[in-house]
Structure 1
C-alpha cells in the first residue's frame, strides 16, 4: 500500500489546488526514493536477521510503516514526503531481505512455493485496496485508514514463533523443537528435527564470509540465478507501471478513466498471483517463468506499438481505447503467474542458513538499485522520447529473460532446502552416481553425522542427471 500510494496520490499532488504542490521532478523523486532507500534497508535487515532473529527483525520493520502513515496524514511539505518514503524504503529493504528467508525456513517442502507466493498475493491485495479506495478519498483520510494494517501486524505477529532453523543456528535446541512442533501442528517431529539439526550443524560448520558467495560454487550459482531473475523482474517495468499506473492509463486516453483502469489492473494483478499460488507447487518454477515471460513480452510490445502510433499520430485511436487497459491487464496477469511470484519465492530457497542473510542482502541491494533507476528514469524518458520507448526496453528485457530461464534457472519444486544446495553444487552431469557417492563419503571436510542423509542426496543427484 505504501509503494502504490504514489500512483493514486501523484495526480492529486500535481493538481493546482494541491496542499503540497509538486513539480514533475519532485514527483519522480518521491516515486523512486523509496526503492533507493531499500539499499541500506537490505544491509540493516541482513545484520538484524542474524543478530536478533528473523521474527524480531520483521516486528521491528513494522514500526516504520506505521510511522509513515502517521506522517502522511500530517504532511504539509515536500521534505516530509521525502522523509516518509526514505523511512518506508528502509523498512522495504529489510522486509524483502528477511521475509523470504523466514517463509523458506518455516515451510514444508511441498507447500513452500505456495507460502512463498502468498507474499506476492498479499502485497497485491494491498495494492488493489489502495487503487480501489484512494482515488475517492483525501490523502489524509487514506493514511488514517491504512495505518490500521501495521497496527494489526504488530499485535498479531508478536505471537508467531521464531523459525526453527534460526533457533538451531543460535543453539537453542529446545526452543527450536517447540517451534517446529507449532509450525507442523504435531507433537512427534523427531525425524524431521533430527535431519534439520544435522543439516544446520553441517551448514554452520562451514565458513560464512562475504567472499564465499563468489568462491563457493553453489552460492555463486544461486547469486547468478537470483540477481538475474531480479534484474529481469525490475527491467520488465513492474515498479514503473505500478507507481505510475494512473498516469499511464490517463496518458493512453482509453475508454476508462485512469482510476478505473488502475482498479481493473489491480484486480488482474491479485487474481493472477492467487492463481500462481495454486500452480507453483504443481507445475513448477521454470515452466511458469517461461510462460510468464512470453506473455509479458507480447503485452509490452502491444503497449509500445499503441504509444508509438499515438505519439506519431499514425491513425485515429479513438476506436481502440480498449487497447491500453487490455494489454496491461494481460501483462500484469502474466507477470503475476510467474515472474512476480517465483523470483520472490526462490529467493528464500537458494541459500543455506549460514550464508542466507548475506546473500539476501546483496540481492536486495542490487534489486533496489535497478528498481530505483527504472522508476527514476521512466517518466523523463517517456516525456522526452515518447511513452513507447520505456515499453520497448521492458519487452526486450522479458525476451532476454526467456533464454536466461531456459539455460540458467534450476527447478526447485518439491525439493528441500538442502536438496537444492546439492543440485546447485552438482550442476554438471554425473555419469556415475556411485562414484560421486564415494567422493562424498571420503571428503574429510564433511562432518560424520551428515552421512545419514547421503543416500537421499545421491538419489537427488541421479534424478537431476
Structure 2
C-alpha cells in the first residue's frame, strides 16, 4: 500500500526535482584528487632532478646518469603502472574506489622516503617503480569514484579536476625545485599523502559500492551526502527516493546477471568500449604532453632557444593549469567529441611548429627574433592537450564501457595505456639523441592528425548521458522502474509519508 502511494506521488510530482547543491561532489572530487596532486609533484620533481642527476656535479654516489639511465628513470614508473593496472580490478572490486585510493597512500609514502634517504641510481629506480604502481592504479579508481558520486550534467567537469590538481603539482614542484635544494623536497612532499588519508577516510564510499555489498542504509546515506540532501521539502524526498530506487534496481539487475566471464568482453558494446578506450589512450600519447613534462628542462635545452629552460618550464606548467581549467568549463558544454578533436588538431599544429623551428635552427638560420617560438608552441601543446584529450580519455573510457565489465574493462584500458606510455617515455630521450628533436616531434604531430580523423569517424559523444545506462540492453532498462518490487523500499521517503 505504501509503495503504491509513493508510486502515485512520483507520477504526479512535476517537474522532476533537480539536485543543485553539489558542494559535496566537488569536495569529494578535489579531496580525492590530492593524490593526483602528489603524483604531479613527483613528475615535476623528477623532470628537474634528472638534469642534476645527469650533470658532472651529480649528488648520486653511483655517479652521473647516462642517457640510457635517464630513459629508465623516466619510464620505469610506467612498468609500475602496469603492475598497478593488474591489481586495480581485483582490489577495487573488494574495497571499493574510496578504500582503494586510501590503499595507494602507502606506496606514495614509501616512494618519497626512498628518494629522500637513497643516494644511488637503484634507489631512484625503485622509488619510481613503487610510485608508478600507485600512479597506474589510482587514476581509474579516482575516475570511477568521481563518476559514481557526480550528477550527469557535471560529470565531465568533475572528471577533469584530477588533471588540474596534477598540473598544479607539476607547477609547484618546478618552482620549488628552482628555489630549494632538491634533497629537501621529498621531506616536504612526504606529508601530502598522509594529510590526504587523514581527511579522505571520513568521506562515505560511493552508493554503488554499498549496494553491491547489500548495505542499503549505507547506500542511502551516501546518496544523501553526495546529493547534499537536507529533507526540507517533499520534492526533495521524492527525488531521493527516485535516485535510491534507481540505483538499487540497477544493483539488483546486475546481481541477478550471470557471473562475469570471458564472453562478456566479446559483446558488441564491450569490444567497442574497450577499443575506444585503448584508441583514446594510444592517440593521447601522440600529443607528447607527458614526455615534454617529464623531460621539460632537457627539451627546452635541446630546441636551441636562448630563453632560460627553467623559467620556460615554469611558464609551460602555468599553461598546463589553464588548459585543465578550460576543460572544467567546456567538457559538458562543447561535448567530449568536439573537445577531443580540437585538442588533437591544436597539438599537431604546436608540435609541427616546434619541429620546424628546430629544423631551421640546425640549418643555421638566424632565429634570435623568434626565440619565443619553442616556449609558446610547447606551452600551447600542453595547454590544448590538457584542455581536451588528456583528461577526457579516461572519462570517455568509463562512459563507453558497459556497467558489467566497467571495473575490469578500465583495468584492460589502463594496462594498454601504460604499455604505450612506457614505450613513449623510454624511447623519447633516445629518439632525441639519435633522430634529433625535429623528426621526433614531426612523428608525434602526424600521429595527432591521424587520431583526429579516426575520432571524427568513430567516436560518439557521451556528454550528459547516465553512466548507469551505458551498455545496458533495453530489457534491463525496463527494470529501472520505481514500483519497488523485488526489493525493500528505502527509508527516508516512507518515514516522512507515514508521519503525514
Q: TM-score, normalised by structure 2?
A: 0.83
User: Residue 463 of structure 1 corresponds to which residue in structure 2?
Assistant: none
User: Do structure 1's residue 271 and structure 2's residue 322 form an aligned pair?
Assistant: yes
Q: Is the 1:276–1:336 Cα contact (8 Å) retained in structure 2?
A: yes
Q: Which of the numbers 391, 397, 408 marks the counterpart of 2:447?
A: 397
Give how far 1:325 is off: 0.4
Select which of 456, 463, 466 maps to 1:413: 463
Instruction: Evaluate the alpha carbon distance shift between residue 210 and residue 100 of structure 1 in structure 2; reply closer, same or farther with a 3 A threshold.
Output: farther
The equivalent of 1:324 in structure 2 is 374
Matched, 1:309 2:360: yes
Q: Does 1:13 align with 2:63?
A: no
Residues 167/98 of structure 1: CA separation in 2 closer, same or farther (3 Å cut): same
Conserved 8 A contact 1:46-1:97: no
| Structure 2 CA distance for aligned equivalents of residues 322 and 111 of structure 1 | 37
Question: Superposition RMSD on alpha carbons, in Å?
Answer: 1.8
Q: Structure 1 length as normaliser, TM-score?
A: 0.89
Residues 68-117 of structure 1: CA deviation (Å, up to 9, x unaligned): 11221111101111110110011111102211111111111011011101
SS of the residue corresponding to residue 282 of structure 1 reads coil
Residue 289 of structure 1 corresponds to 340
Q: Deviations over 1:167-205 (max 9, x none)?
A: 111211111111111111114311111011112222343
Q: Given that residues 165 and 353 in structure 1 are in contact (C-alpha distance below 8 angstroms), is that contact kept between their aligned partners in structure 2?
A: no
Q: Give the counterpart of 1:379 among 417, 420, 429.
A: 429
State how far apart, in whole Å, the 2-side matches of 1:173 and 1:95 are: 27
What's the CA shift for 1:214?
A: 3.5
- The structural deviation recorded for 1:310 is 2.5
Match of residue 435 from structure 1: none
**TM superposition shift of 1:319:** 2.5
Equivalent in the alignment of 1:85: 128
| Structure 1 contact 303–324 (Cα < 8 Å) conserved | yes
Q: What residue number does 1:429 align with?
A: none
Partner residue in 2 for 1:460: none
Residue of structure 1 equivalent to 2:143: 100
Query: After alignment, is 269-278 or 205-214 more displaced?
Result: 205-214
Instruction: Tell me the alpha carbon deviations over residues 111-160 of structure 1, each in whole angstroms, 9 at most, x when there is no partner.
Output: 10111011111111111111121122222111112122112211111111
Contact 1:202–1:447, Cα closer than 8 Å, also in 2: no
User: What displacement does 1:390 show?
Assistant: 1.7
Q: Distance in 1 between matches of 2:249 and 2:379?
A: 47
Q: Deviations over 1:308-360 (max 9, x none)?
A: 2223x241222221110010111111111111121122233233443221101
For 2:358 and 2:258, how far apart are their aligned partners in 1? 52
Change in 2 beyond 3 A, CA 1:267/1:448: closer
Of 30, 44, 58 in structure 1, the residue corresponding to residue 87 of structure 2 is 44
Aligned partners of 1:204 and 1:354 also within 8 Å: no
Matching residue of 1:132: 175
Structure 2 CA distance for aligned equivalents of residues 353 and 320 of structure 1: 51
Task: Find out whether 1:449 has 2:479 as its counterpart.
Answer: yes
Task: Classify 1:46/1:326 alpha carbon distance in 2 versus 1 (closer, same or farther; 3 Å).
Answer: same
Measure, in 2, the Cα distance between the counterparts of 1:212 and 1:327: 46
Equivalent-residue separation in structure 1 for 2:469 and 2:107 (angstroms): 37
C-alpha distance after superposition, 1:369-426 (max 9, x if no partner) = 000000100111111111112211111111111112211211111111133335xx7x
The answer as to whether partners of 2:246 and 2:481 remain within 8 angstroms in 1 is no
Shift of 1:210: 5.4
In the alignment, which residue of structure 1 is the partner of 2:74? 31
Q: Distance in 2 between matches of 1:256 and 1:156?
A: 42
Within a 5 Å distance, the mapping from 1:203-242 to structure 2 comes to 203-207=254-258, 209=260, 211-212=262-263, 214-242=265-293
Residue 4 of structure 1 aligns with which residue?
Answer: 44
Contact residue 260 and residue 404 of structure 2 kept, 8 A: no
Distance 1:370 1:66, change over 3 A: same
Shift of 1:208: 5.4
The alignment status of 1:122 with 2:165, answered yes or no, reads yes
Match of 2:299 in 1: 248
Instruction: Confirm or deny: 8 A CA contact 2:242 2:482 kept in the other structure.
Output: no
For the residues of structure 1 that align with 2:156 and 2:288, how far apart are their CA atoms? 24
Paired residue for 2:205? 162
Partner of 1:197: 248
Residues 167 and 5 (structure 1), Cα distance of their counterparts in 2 relative to 1, 3 Å cut: same
Query: CA separation in 1, counterparts of 2:99 and 2:468?
Result: 25
The number of residue pairs the alignment matches comes to 432
CA distance in 2, matches of 1:58, 1:257: 38
Q: Which runs of 5+ in 2 are unaligned?
A: 1-40, 232-236, 484-500
Q: By how many angstroms is 1:14 displaced? A: 1.2
Match of 1:431 in 2: none
